């Protein structure tokens, strides 16, 4: 039960500190749609999504009005399409280029169906055009990866992901190599829109099955038929709380972040329970990640500055981010028994005006961002790089991030955007919540010889825990 005092405190956080619920995401299983007829599968997928999520946006808006709480996005995640739609393509004996291309077109058709269903439901994004290839790939996985560039270029709301590594499985470097080439293709197909297709794609290590945030959300095979997952936010609330203890010692700082995260998570719990009741769909998890927006006052970077840094990227940044992430988790798990997803602090460059400013000032480099990802929620997020960056270099950046996730047994991800025709210092503009980003410098030295080795990087020794 949420107390009256908590409601009053929530109202203050909304009015004074830009508290919002970043997303209500309905996860929907498509396993019941499986079959071998593409037309029948697409009809079943459309009907299942629109019947389950048809009232999602209306319910979210009503909850927002009832509590005076902004609910920024309503989204859908589905079973990884490489699994749900595998029966459409079978396992051709030759597995050659012609067969692969035909299968890719079938998958692209599924992406178009997902887009239509998302539009009919009124949601912002739909995630789950996904392949899980951490130890290797099937014919269907390879076909889906081939389809991703055209699928994201041709659709408006579909998001895609590939999990190419895990602590238990190692890193599939064949997939990592392929992803680098996919990014170049995506960028070229949407070069008139600053490579927007790349902003809807994530490469993962240790992907989780209940993440409500895009572009990496998918509905795991271990989940129920449908669930409600809620992602809360509130960077402004944390910053405001830290302003009240400015100059205090680290123990006080940590306690302040924990108490604030507790309050924010309780708001998410309230919204999740109400959405579950209205939609008659079980409540899944609360993801208590601090998710910034391009708006002033809604920035993780501003929190780091309030902690005493001149700019994000200055010495001490990784330590400050570690403090923030750890204490968000500690406060959140006390507020709800159903904390999941990613839960921590996001550092997307294009979606955080403070991170944008730090990158423009030269305080924040790609290398420093990589170091910060060792302790934050995910990884390199919404980073724009020059359009002439080689595919092998993109793969190398992804491999580095996956190694961090694999060795540290944490989720890491890369959403990197090579912007055709733009170079260091130019601006890439994506619009809306995705914001804009300065094109950042990439290390000019190559790694093609390393990437072209292919194969699989084995898991680390500490992965064997049985």
Give the count of alpha carbons within 13 A of 83, CB side only. Answer: 18
Q: Give the contacts of 463 (CB within 8 A, at least 6 positions apart).
A: 167, 168, 409
- The alpha helices in 86-234, defined as continuous H runs, are 97-121, 139-154, 173-189
The whole-number pLDDT of residue 235 equals 83
Closest CA to 370 of 321, 328, 329, 409: 321
Say yes or no to pLDDT of 8 above 70.
Answer: no
The whole-number pLDDT of residue 359 equals 87
Q: What is the rounded average pLDDT for all residues in the chain?
A: 88
Q: What integer is the mean pLDDT of 322-340? A: 83
Cβ count near 446 (within 10 Å): 12
pLDDT in tens, 19-76: 778 888 999 999 999 888 999 999 999 999 999 998 999 988 888 888 877 888 899 9
Say yes or no to pLDDT of 1 above 50.
Answer: no
Q: What integer is the mean pLDDT of 244-250? A: 92
The CA distance from 282 to 229, in Å, is 9
The SS3 call for residue 122 is coil
The whole-number pLDDT of residue 237 equals 85
Residue 240's Cβ-count burial label (10 Å; 0-12, 13-18, 19+) is buried
Cβ count near 9 (within 10 Å): 14
Q: What integer is the mean pLDDT of 176-199? A: 95
Say yes or no to pLDDT of 153 above 50.
Answer: yes
The whole-number pLDDT of residue 72 equals 82
The whole-number pLDDT of residue 273 equals 86
The CA distance from 163 to 129, in Å, is 11
The CA distance from 168 to 409, in Å, is 9
Cβ count near 222 (within 10 Å): 7
The CA distance from 65 to 466, in Å, is 49
Kindly report the length of the chain: 466
The CA distance from 209 to 207, in Å, is 7
Structural domains in the chain plus CATH codes: 228-379+420-457 (3.20.70.20)
Residues above pLDDT 70, as percent of the chain = 94
pLDDT in tens, 352-391: 888 888 888 889 898 998 998 888 877 888 899 999 999 9
Say yes or no to pLDDT of 283 above 70.
Answer: yes
The whole-number pLDDT of residue 68 equals 78
The whole-number pLDDT of residue 272 equals 85
pLDDT in tens, 217-231: 999 998 999 999 988
The CA distance from 50 to 28, in Å, is 10
The CA distance from 178 to 394, in Å, is 10
Out of 201-205, 261-265, 342-346, least confident range: 342-346
Q: pLDDT band for position 90 (50/70/90)?
A: confident
The whole-number pLDDT of residue 141 equals 94
């Amino acid at each position: 039960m949420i107390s009256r005092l908590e409601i009053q405190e929530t109202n203050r956080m909304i009015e004074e500190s830009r508290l919002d619920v970043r997303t209500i995401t309905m996860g929907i299983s498509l396993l019941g749609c499986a079959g071998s007829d593409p037309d029948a599968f697409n009809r079943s997928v459309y009907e299942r999504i629109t019947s389950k999520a048809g009232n999602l946006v209306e319910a979210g808006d009503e909850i927002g009005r009832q509590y005076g709480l902004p609910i920024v996005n309503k989204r859908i995640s589905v079973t990884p399409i490489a699994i749900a739609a595998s029966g459409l393509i079978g396992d051709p004996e030759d597995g050659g280029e012609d067969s692969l291309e035909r299968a890719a077109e079938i998958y692209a058709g599924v992406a178009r169906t997902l887009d239509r269903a998302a539009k009919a439901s009124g949601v912002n994004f739909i995630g789950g055009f996904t392949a899980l290839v951490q130890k290797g790939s099937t014919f269907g996985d390879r076909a889906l990866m081939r389809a991703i560039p055209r699928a994201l270029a041709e659709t408006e709301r579909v998001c895609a992901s590939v999990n190419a590594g895990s602590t238990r499985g190692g890193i599939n470097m064949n997939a990592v190599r392929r992803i680098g080439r996919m990014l170049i293709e995506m960028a070229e197909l949407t070069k008139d829109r600053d490579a927007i297709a790349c902003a809807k794609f994530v490469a993962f290590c240790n992907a989780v099955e209940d993440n409500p945030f895009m572009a990496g959300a998918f509905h795991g095979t271990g989940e129920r038929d449908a669930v409600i997952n809620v992602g809360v936010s509130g960077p402004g609330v944390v910053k405001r709380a830290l302003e009240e203890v400015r100059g205090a010692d680290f123990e006080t700082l940590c306690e302040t972040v924990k108490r604030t995260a507790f309050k924010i998570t309780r708001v998410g719990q309230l919204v999740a329970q109400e959405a579950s009741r209205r939609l008659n769909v079980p409540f899944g998890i609360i993801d208590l990640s601090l998710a910034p927006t391009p708006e002033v006052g809604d920035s993780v970077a501003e929190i780091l500055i309030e902690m005493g840094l001149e700019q994000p990227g200055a010495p001490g940044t990784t330590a400050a981010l570690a403090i923030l992430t750890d204490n968000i988790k500690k406060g959140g798990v006390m507020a709800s028994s159903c904390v999941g997803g990613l839960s921590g602090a996001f550092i997307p460059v294009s979606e955080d005006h403070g991170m944008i400013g730090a990158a423009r000032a030269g305080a924040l480099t790609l290398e420093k961002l990589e170091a910060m990802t060792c302790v934050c929620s995910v990884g390199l997020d919404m980073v724009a790089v020059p359009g002439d960056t080689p595919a092998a270099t993109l793969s190398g950046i992804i491999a580095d991030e996956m190694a961090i996730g694999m060795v540290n047994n944490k989720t890491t991800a890369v959403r990197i955007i090579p912007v055709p025709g733009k170079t260091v210092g130019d601006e890439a503009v994506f619009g809306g919540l995705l914001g804009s980003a300065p094109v950042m410098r990439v290390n000019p030295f190559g790694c093609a010889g390393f990437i072209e080795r292919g194969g699989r990087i084995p898991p680390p020794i500490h992965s064997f825990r049985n």
